Structure 1
Amino acid sequence: MEPRGLVDLRGEDGAPFAVHYPGDAVVVVSGLPGSGKSTLLRRWSARAPQAVTVDPRAVHEACAAVMPARLPYAVYRPWARLEHFRLLRRSVRRGGPLLVHDCGSRAWMRRWLAREAARQGRELHLVLLDVGAATALDGQRARGRRASRRAFARHRRGLGRLRAALGAHARGTAVTPVPEAVSVLLLDGVSRSRAAEARFGSGTGRGTDSATGPDVGTAQG
């Protein structure tokens, strides 16, 4: 499938499928902490090695490695966030396909990414993992790492606004659900497991890169 506009695959079971993007696309994967963003990104990046993946957790761990063990993360969180932003800016400006791990609750981040990409003639695409708060909390417990109540509530409110915009679009009361994104792919726990890989360039009509690996089927959206 080549998503354009709003593509809602929540609740749809079936065969695995590949998601095709332009060869230079910026793809933002969003959802609550514990929704499976990192798992999906690892699966997609393994099948599309030409795509760079930017995950704030990696920056957090790199900062923690050079800090005294007794120093709580809250003390150097601003530095870690600044380093993540710098890495994201360098990665966007470098060009080529990009996978971005983001909570999705910050519209300004998507707008900034879209502007940076547009300067290079590239598109921003959004993938939203809508699994629900209970499932996300279960995911946090399973990975052994939990977001604070305050952070989780903040992300939940931000994503609630995004889902409301998507709902207005689906009802025909809003023309564009997320103006900065060329496509919004909605996945839940069922369809998330079916999204076997992301391919960049091949079959999209743009770009020159193509992901490796056999066909895994398609889904219509």
Structure 2
Amino acid sequence: MGSTTDGTPVSPRGVVDLRGVDGPGFTVRYPAGAVVVVSGLPGAGKSTLLRRWSAAGAVAVVDPRAVHEACEAVMPAWLPYAVYRPWARLRHGLLLRNSVRRGGPLLVHDCGSRAWMRRRLARGAGRRGRELHVVLLDVGAAAALDGQRARGRYASARVFARHLVGLARLSAALDRGDPIPEAASVLRLDAVSRSRATVVRFGGRGL
């Protein structure tokens, strides 16, 4: 189901491409207990969208940046992040696993360039009768770099290039009509439609 220009709620199933579609704000609806992965290049607006969606209701969010900052807060200021990065990644992985096991709707911040991560999340969710859904912020490299400059936080050129290759591969598969079997839906948004996706709801229409 898609929304064009009238603000009708969107209940994604399969691939729903709203890139370049302007109009009023709309609500995105998912099944109760869905695990929704918000993906895109560093600077694409994932954190902004997650803050907007989580502020509108009691939805748990797993964001690796929060884990990074929590680890940073207890480490000496002189210690480079690269030294304790493995510990931060382990903590993030455990938090993600436990959040999926706990049940209830879940929003996950992830660049989305790693198919193995989506498959792992889908398996964990599926064992509990839950669906995995993907929101892909397909804004392009130039807009993502502008986003990094605006927030004053930059991904390294190596990390950015790695995610760019992975997400280009995913976008090309979607453009060909290839299925993404681990995801019940992929909602493709760009800078225009991203700002229109104002609210996320889980479960029945009355929620």
What TM-score bracket applies, with the shorter chain setting the length?
Answer: over 0.9
1:42 partnered with 2:38: no
Residues 38-69 of structure 1 deviation map (CA, whole Å, 9 limit, x = unaligned): 000000001121x1100000000000001100
TM-score (norm 2): 0.94
Q: Equivalents in 2 of 1:112, 1:48: separation in Å?
A: 26
Residue type of the alignment partner of 1:179 = P
Q: Which residues in structure 2 correspond to 1:91-170 (within 5 Å)?
A: 91-169=99-177
Query: SS state of the match for residue 141, structure 1?
Result: helix
Residue type of the alignment partner of 2:44 = S
Residue type of the alignment partner of 1:38 = S
- The equivalent residue for 1:184 is 186
Q: Which has the higher contact order (CA 8 A, sep 6+)?
A: 1
1:2 partnered with 2:11: yes
- The equivalent residue for 1:22 is 31
Percent of paired sites with the same residue: 74
The alignment yields a C-alpha RMSD, in angstroms, of 0.8
Query: How far 1:74 sits from its partner (Å)?
Result: 1.0
Residue type of the alignment partner of 2:72 = A
Q: Equivalents in 2 of 1:60, 1:98: separation in Å?
A: 19
Q: Equivalents in 2 of 1:157, 1:150: separation in Å?
A: 11
- The equivalent residue for 2:22 is 13
8 A contact 1:4–1:183 mirrored in 2:
yes
Q: Equivalents in 2 of 1:46, 1:202: separation in Å?
A: 19
Query: SS state of the match for residue 7, structure 1?
Result: strand
1:79 partnered with 2:94: no
Q: Equivalents in 1 of 2:45, 2:192: separation in Å?
A: 12
Q: Equivalents in 2 of 1:181, 1:107: separation in Å?
A: 11
TM-score (norm 1): 0.88
8 A contact 1:48–1:200 mirrored in 2:
no
Gaps of at least 5 residues in structure 2 are 1-9
Q: 1:197 aligns with which of 190, 196, 199?
A: 199
Query: SS state of the match for residue 146, structure 1?
Result: coil
* Structure 1 runs, 4 residues or longer, greater than 2 Å off: none
Query: How far 1:128 sits from its partner (Å)?
Result: 0.1
Q: Equivalents in 1 of 2:29, 2:88: separation in Å?
A: 32
Residue type of the alignment partner of 2:158 = R
Residues 105-156 of structure 1 deviation map (CA, whole Å, 9 limit, x = unaligned): 1110100000000001110000000001011001001111000000000000
Gaps of at least 5 residues in structure 1 are 204-209, 212-221
Residue type of the alignment partner of 1:35 = A
Query: How far 1:78 sits from its partner (Å)?
Result: 1.0
Residue type of the alignment partner of 2:66 = A
